Chain A
């Protein structure tokens, strides 16, 4: 007979119904999933108590990718922290850049010119499409639909090619600056983007043809991980996880930023809050992102040649050719790079990321050394909700739940 073991349980079914003399059900299996695991979407460790195939308790253990980013912001300074923000939710780097820049702009009362905002919307929506493609590819491959991984990664490569041409790097581009973007978008990039957007909706149709009506996909996702709106709000969920339950809340519509109020798009909302509804919400979000990108490109024609970066000299580097010739510009460059300071106070600018509400809570004491930069990561709330959805379900549903909650450990752990 086994020794009596005590187990620590997170909110879940207490073991009172276990009959310890029953040879089949008398013992809990503690299964450690992770931190290295193909289906945990990064370095997440889950301690799962299993009664046969049924999950009785689940405890996530995060922090395996904690790199000390919030401390790094305090040590490096506002400007030098931009590359770190890319690497938070690393499947949508430019979106994180924009969120950080927006909170600094709120703190410093800096206005972004219209062309800068339009370019930001274009690249934010492209990043959203890229992030949802990762969700689709990795969740599908975790559930066995291996082909989807290759299909979505082919499309993601096309976005990479676009961003490579525009920013010089495929991923972790760091192309946003306080007050705008680093450089203007040129005609060839617009042409490539139009080409991509023209063929992408038919690709979404292909993905849907493979998955949406698929009996296996439906059975594995329908009814799995259902949430009520009250639960979702109590657990601080946002984004597609919240909208899948039927709550119509999107930061782009309800707390608009960057000019989103003047764009024409819809926000998909689910009904049941299960994995299948969240999947449908994300597919539709990709279609709406295509609409937004097309509108952004059309507006670029109107603002052609205008400013894409604020002219506020306190935060913007002088033109490079002047830096090489003139002493004042050289000193100015030095001061902005090493000593950029923001006014005293706190600010928080929420942004709708592909995972939910992303925001940087920044606090400054008026000097150039940041006082605090807290990263409000939606992924952390998504990981927190794993026990809520998984308890009582089968082990194989765990993959569907982890995939549909959609988190990236870079931002969960920071």
Chain B
């Protein structure tokens, strides 16, 4: 039974739309509020034991939205599913799936770090890759490639460490 059939067998066809993907992976689009129930269904009833990745696509060049992308793998059925959630770029927030798949924890932290997406219920939501105290979200399209004052935290550290340091 294909992925979409399995999902339809459990919850019918309401509340999600099937989307085509170029690589043939079954892909569904849902609302952010529907995520906790949908994710629980995927894990417990559709057999998706593991989360592959959690990331975001910044589509603000065309429309002011982010697409939060999840991908799950089912070993027992040997297939994958991708879940897309469109959120407002000005205030991107989705519920966390960390309680269902703890392996998504770092992916969510990275998504927060790079895009500023707030994962509700993921506590504490800390940055993963950029240093603590960094104020920007680098993978947003508005952030320049060369960065904004990349040496700021280093200069602060230098100033505090030597009394006669650079101002």
Interface residues of chain A, those whose CB is within 8 Å of chain B, are 62-63, 66, 68, 70-72, 74-75, 103, 106-107, 109, 230, 233-238, 247, 249, 254-255, 343, 345-350, 357, 359, 361, 363, 365, 371-372, 374, 376, 380-381, 383-384, 413-414
Contacts and interface: CB of A to CB of B under 8 A. Distances in A.
B78 A361 contact: no
Contact of B22 (A62, A230, A345, A380): A345
B103 A236 contact: yes
B139 A384 contact: no
Contacts of A63: 127-131
Interface centre among B21, B22, B114, B139 (most CB of A within 10 A): B22
Given A254-B78, A345-B21, A347-B23, A361 B55 contact: yes
Interface of B: 20-23, 25, 27, 49-53, 55, 57-59, 61-62, 69, 71, 75, 78, 80, 82, 101-107, 110, 114, 127-131, 138-139, 141, 143, 145, 147
A113 to B, nearest CB: 20
Contacts of B80: 348
A349 B23 contact: yes
Q: List 5 tightest A-B contacts by C-beta distance, closest first.
A: A236-B103, A345-B22, A63-B129, A347-B23, A66-B129
Interface centre among A230, A361, A413 (most CB of B within 10 A): A361
Nearest to B124: A8
A233 B129 contact: no
Contact of B145 (A62, A72, A376): A72
A414 B128 CA distance: 12
A66 B103 contact: no
B51 A236 contact: yes
15 contacts: A63-B128, A63-B130, A66-B129, A72-B145, A106-B23, A107-B22, A109-B22, A234-B49, A234-B101, A234-B103, A254-B75, A345-B22, A361-B69, A361-B71, A380-B110
Contacts of A107: 22-23
B157 to A, nearest CB: 14
Interface centre among B50, B75, B78, B127 (most CB of A within 10 A): B50
Contacts of B57: 346, 363, 371-372
A361 B53 contact: yes
B34 to A, nearest CB: 20
Main secondary structure of the interface of B (DSSP, over half): loop
Contacts of A349: 23
A346 B22 contact: yes
B55 A66 contact: no
A255 B22 contact: no
Contact of A237 (B103, B110, B147): B103
B31 to A, nearest CB: 19
B96 to A, nearest CB: 15
Contacts of B27: 346
B71 A348 contact: yes
B69 A234 contact: no
A49 to B, nearest CB: 17
Given A254-B78, A365-B62, A384 B105 contact: yes
A375 B138 CA distance: 15
Contacts of A345: 20-22
